[in-house]
Amino acid sequence: MIKITFSKNPKTKRFILSLFGKDVDSENYIIEKETGERVLSSNGQEITFKRFGGVVSGSEIFLKDDFVSLVDYYENRLSKQEG
Amino acid sequence: MLDIASKLTSLVKNFKFLSKLQIASNNDNRQINLHIHIPENGKISKRQLELAREQLIPILKENKPFKTLSEPVDKSLKVIDDYNEEGNDPNLKKFINDNLPEKDKAIWYSSLILRKYFEEDKKELVSQLKSQIISTELDRGKNIANLCSAGYLESLIIPLNSYFEDEKIDKQLFLEIYETIVTEYPFAVFVSQYRPYTEIKKEIIDKINKVKKYGWKKVSVHGIGKENVKEIKKLAEEIETSCKVVNSVDVNTHGSKGIIITFTFNLS
């Protein structure tokens, strides 16, 4: 498996988003570059550029960087594996 | 996997902002770690970024699954993974999953992790995690984290739920009481260095007067750290002297650096 880690400074984050065809709108939310539609996190919330934490591929799950969101993602992923 | 490794090695050679290429293998699991850092100072040209992107995208498309994580997220996921790998608190997690509101589950799970590292005296990690919980979940997050650290999940919420189940009382009533516990925690006061002494004293007395009406005869005051412990002991003396309804004051330690003082009082 490939694991990419990245610095959380703006230029690096923008580069990472561009790898997935994403951009940032005027209100600083992450969007699909082609459609302008806002991207949702693993728990169904819009993600600001500031809170962007990463992407897990497969189904391209976008992560917010706060601890509670990450715990939520982890628990949901676990329960899907066990289910 | 060797082919990917050689492609990525070539990329790292050509583009300075790609680095730390490591190939780790653990039995059948091989992981390639790549780090990306693009400095803000503009030394990497747009053309370079475009070239790197053109080469990196197909590699990623051909090699799913992969993870792309900011450094802080990578660390947080490791903390969560370590906690779960050790099989901590399975019964508590099951209780939370089966009985508590959906919107609170992740906060409780986070608080259990916070509590574990508090008990291991990992101060810096605890401080970071608690700040994160409060910054995104605000007062509700702070309350649940405090209630969890103080053991109220086990000592109050679980027994309360069991009582309601045994007596076949409507679950909705449990959830209403749970909501009161989480938003007001009427029987507990948490002391922090940021709160003025007079405010804490008022909260203790107000809560004593409030919970008496509902037949509850204890209020506990929780604090961690030398200064908070000193303050709570001073408060306990003052309240025991001035508040006529207080019958007794019990002092217990909480972890290695904390204190819980419980005021028991008359209901009349």
Q: Are the beta carbons of A10 and B49 separated by less than 8 Å?
A: no
**A80 part of contact set with chain B, CB < 8 Å:** no
**A15 part of contact set with chain B, CB < 8 Å:** yes
Q: Which of helix, strand or coil describes residue B222?
A: strand
Query: In the numeric block, which tokens belong to residue B119?
Result: 């008990």
B11 has pLDDT over 80: yes
**A10 part of contact set with chain B, CB < 8 Å:** yes
pLDDT tier at A10 (50, 70, 90 boundaries)?
very high
pTM comes to: 0.83
Most trustworthy range by pLDDT among B49-58, B96-105, B111-120: B96-105
Residue of B37, B60, B113 with shortest CB distance to A19:
B60
Q: Are the beta carbons of B72 and A18 separated by less than 8 Å?
A: no
- A38 or B3, which is more confident: A38
Q: Tell me, what's the pLDDT at B75?
A: 93
Query: In the numeric block, which tokens belong to residue B228?
Result: 């908070």
Q: What is the mean pLDDT of residues B230-249?
A: 83
Q: Are the beta carbons of A4 and B81 separated by less than 8 Å?
A: no
A60 has pLDDT over 80: yes
| Tens digit of each residue's pLDDT (9 = 90 or more) over B163-192 | 888 888 888 989 988 998 898 888 888 887
| CB environment A25-45: b (16+ within 10 A), e (fewer) | eeeebbbeeeeeeebebbeee
Q: What is the mean pLDDT of residues A70-82?
A: 81
Q: Which of B73, B107, B115, B143 to mutate to test the interface with A (most CBs of A within 10 A)?
A: B73
Whole-number Å distance between alpha carbons of A66 and B46:
30
Q: Tell me, what's the pLDDT at B21?
A: 63
Q: Provide CB contacts within 8 A for B118, sequence distance 6+.
A: B126, B149, B255
Q: Are the beta carbons of B105 and A67 separated by less than 8 Å?
A: no
**B32 part of contact set with chain A, CB < 8 Å:** yes
Whole-number Å distance between alpha carbons of B202 and B196:
10
A83 has pLDDT over 50: no
Tell me the one-letter amino acid at B35: H
B15 has pLDDT over 50: yes
Start-to-end CA span in chain A (Å): 23
Q: Tell me, what's the pLDDT at B267?
A: 66
Whole-number Å distance between alpha carbons of A25 and A22:
10
Task: Output phi, psi for B256, to 5 deg.
Answer: -90, -15
Query: Is the peptide bond between B101 and the residue preceding it cis, with omega within 30 degrees of 0?
Result: no
Half-sphere exposure of A58 (CA within 13 A, CB side): 9
Residue percentage of chain B with pLDDT more than 90: 28
Closest Cα in chain A, distance from residue B65 (Å): 5
Chain B window 57-76: which residues touch A at a Cβ cutoff of 8 Å?
57, 59-60, 63-74, 76
Q: Tell me, what's the pLDDT at B260?
A: 83
Q: Are the beta carbons of A53 and B72 separated by less than 8 Å?
A: yes
List of long-range contacts for B17-23, beta carbons under 8 Å, 24+ apart: B17/A12, B17/B44, B17/B52, B18/B52
Q: Tell me, what's the pLDDT at B25?
A: 58
Chain A window 19-48: which residues touch B at a Cβ cutoff of 8 Å?
19, 43
Q: Provide CB contacts within 8 A for B42, sequence distance 6+.
A: none
Whole-number Å distance between alpha carbons of B87 and B104:
21
A34 has pLDDT over 90: yes
- B242 or A23, which is more confident: A23
Q: Are the beta carbons of A71 and B35 separated by less than 8 Å?
A: no
User: Does the ipTM exceed 0.90?
Assistant: yes
How many interchain CB pairs under 8 A, A with B? 153
pLDDT tier at A57 (50, 70, 90 boundaries)?
confident
Query: Are B208 and B219 contacting, i.e. CB atoms less than 8 angstroms apart?
Result: yes
Give all strands (DSSP E) within chain B, no chain letters. 18-26, 29-36, 66-70, 188-191, 218-224, 246-254, 258-265
Q: What is the 3-state secondary structure (H, E, C) of B92-122?
A: HHHHHHHHCCHHHHHHHHHHHHHHHHHHCCC
The per-residue DSSP string of chain A comes to -EEEEE--SHHHHHHHHHHTTEEE-TTSBEEETTT-PBPBBTTS-B-BTTTEEEEETTTTEEEESSHHHHHHHHHHHHHHHH-
Q: Tell me, what's the pLDDT at B50?
A: 92
Whole-number Å distance between alpha carbons of B34 and B19:
6
Strand pairing class (B66-70; B29-36): unpaired
Q: Are the beta carbons of A15 and B106 separated by less than 8 Å?
A: no
- A56 or B210, which is more confident: A56
Whole-number Å distance between alpha carbons of B27 and B263:
57
Query: Are B217 and B265 contacting, i.e. CB atoms less than 8 angstroms apart?
Result: yes
Q: Are the beta carbons of B71 and A7 separated by less than 8 Å?
A: yes
pLDDT tier at B16 (50, 70, 90 boundaries)?
confident
Whole-number Å distance between alpha carbons of B68 and A15:
12
Query: Are B48 and B7 contacting, i.e. CB atoms less than 8 angstroms apart?
Result: no
